[in-house]
Structure 1
C-alpha cells in the first residue's frame, strides 16, 4: 500500500512595503477584503445560531457583558491589544493586519444588525455549520492574499519563533487560554465551539492551496503550512 504525502503550501515571507510592491496587487486586495467581509459574516452566523462561538469570539462575547460594546467592537479592541504584543516579538504588521483588525469587527456588527435571530434548532444548526464552513473559506482567502498576517496569527507565529514550540502547540495554548478567559467573563461557548475547533484547521488546510496568490517575482519561503 502506498501513501501520498500531503502537499505543502508555500507562502511568501514579505515585509509590509514589499507586499504592496509585488505583482497581482489588485487581485490580492480584492481577495483580502472579500475574505475579511466573509469572515465577519461567518461570525455573525455563529452568533445568531446561539450554539457556541469560536474560541476568540467566546472572549469577545464575554467582554460585551462587562463593557458597553458590541461583539465586533470587542473584536477590534482585542485585535489592537494583541498587536501590542507584536512589539517585543518583533512582528511587523502589514495592510492585511490592520484591515483584519478593523474590517472583520465592523462587518460583524453590520451583519448582526440585519440578521434575524432564529428559534428553530434546525435553522440554528444550519447557521452554525454555514458559519464554520464560510470561516474556513474566509481564513484561506485572507491568508492566501499574502498581505500580512492577522493580529492573532502574528502572535501565534511570533510566540512559536521565540519559544521554539510548534505552531500547533502555540495555537492550541492560545485558544484554550482565550476560551477559559471568555468563560470566566460569561462568554458564549457550546457544541459550536468544539465543532469549530475540530473543523477549522482541516477546512483551512484544504482550501488554502486553491486560494494562495503568488504575488509575483519574489523569493518564496516555505512556511511549513500544510
Structure 2
C-alpha cells in the first residue's frame, strides 16, 4: 500500500498540492455522507456509530445529519483532555458529512423491495469505502472519532485494537438500546470496510513531493475512522 505522511496540522496545511487535496477532501466527505444515507434508507443495519446516531435521532427532534454533526462536535471536545490537535480535514469531517447525509436522505427513497434495499446497502458500503479512501488520501487530518481512538491509546498505553473495539461496542450497545438499526448491514460493513479501504486507497492517495512519508503497515492512519460513520 502507498504510504501516508505523518503530518502535524500545520504541516498538513503547508504541504504541496493543496487545491487537489481540498477538492478530494470535500468530494470524499460529501460522498461519505451520501453513502451513509444509502445505508440508512436500506434499513438493513448500520455501522456502530450510525446505530448510535439513528437511536439519538429517534429521541430528539433533529435531523439525522444534525445528530451526526453534534456527535462529532462532542467527540472533538473529548480531544481536549487527550491533547489532540485537529487538522483542517478534522473540522471539515464534523460539518460536511452531516450536511451531505441530510442532503442524501432528502432524495434517496427507501425501496419496498428487499432486493432493491440490498442493492442500496451494498452500494452504500462500497461507496463508503471509496469515499473514506478519498478523504484519508487527501492527507488533511483524521476524523474526530479516529482521533479519539488514537488519543485514548496514547494516553493509556492500551492497544489501538482494544480501544477501537471498546469504543465501537459501547456506541453500538447504546445505539441499539436507543432503537438504532442493527442488522445484516452492520456485519457487512464491519467485514468489508477494511478491505475496501485497502483496495481504493493506493489509487487516490495524494503524493506530497518533498514530504517525508513513512511506510504504514496494515490499515492506514485514519482508516479506522471510516469504519464508524464519518
TM-score relative to the length of structure 2: 0.91
Give the drift of 1:223: 4.4
In structure 2, how many angstroms separate the alpha carbons of the residues matched to 1:90 and 1:166? 18
Q: CA 1:165–1:205 in 2, change beyond 3 Å: closer, same or farther? A: farther
* Structure 1 residue runs without a partner (length 5+): 1-6
1:198 and 2:191 matched: yes
Correspondent of 2:181 among 188, 192, 213: 188
In structure 2, how many angstroms separate the alpha carbons of the residues matched to 1:26 and 1:152? 25
Larger Rg: 1
Q: Which residue matches 1:166?
A: 159
TM-score relative to the length of structure 1: 0.92
In structure 2, how many angstroms separate the alpha carbons of the residues matched to 1:86 and 1:222? 26
In structure 1, how many angstroms separate the alpha carbons of the residues matched to 2:157 and 2:199? 26
Runs of 4+ residues deviating >4 angstroms: none
In structure 1, how many angstroms separate the alpha carbons of the residues matched to 2:91 and 2:108? 26
Map Cα deviations across residues 144-186 of structure 1 (whole Å, 9 max, x no partner): 1000110011111112222333323322221111100101111
Give the drift of 1:117: 1.6
Q: Which residue matches 2:35?
A: 42
**1:95-174 correspondence to structure 2 within 5 Å:** 95-174=88-167
* Structure 2 residue runs without a partner (length 5+): 220-230
Map Cα deviations across residues 111-144 of structure 1 (whole Å, 9 max, x no partner): 1111112100000000000011110111111111
Q: Secondary structure in 2 aligned to 1:186?
A: coil
Q: Secondary structure in 1 aligned to 2:3?
A: strand
Stretch of structure 1 that moved more, 131-140 or 163-172? 163-172
Correspondent of 1:29 among 4, 12, 22: 22
Map Cα deviations across residues 190-209 of structure 1 (whole Å, 9 max, x no partner): 11111111111121122222
In structure 2, how many angstroms separate the alpha carbons of the residues matched to 1:224 and 1:197? 20
In structure 1, how many angstroms separate the alpha carbons of the residues matched to 2:32 and 2:127? 7
1:11 and 2:13 matched: no
In structure 2, how many angstroms separate the alpha carbons of the residues matched to 1:202 and 1:24? 27
Q: Secondary structure in 2 aligned to 1:147?
A: coil
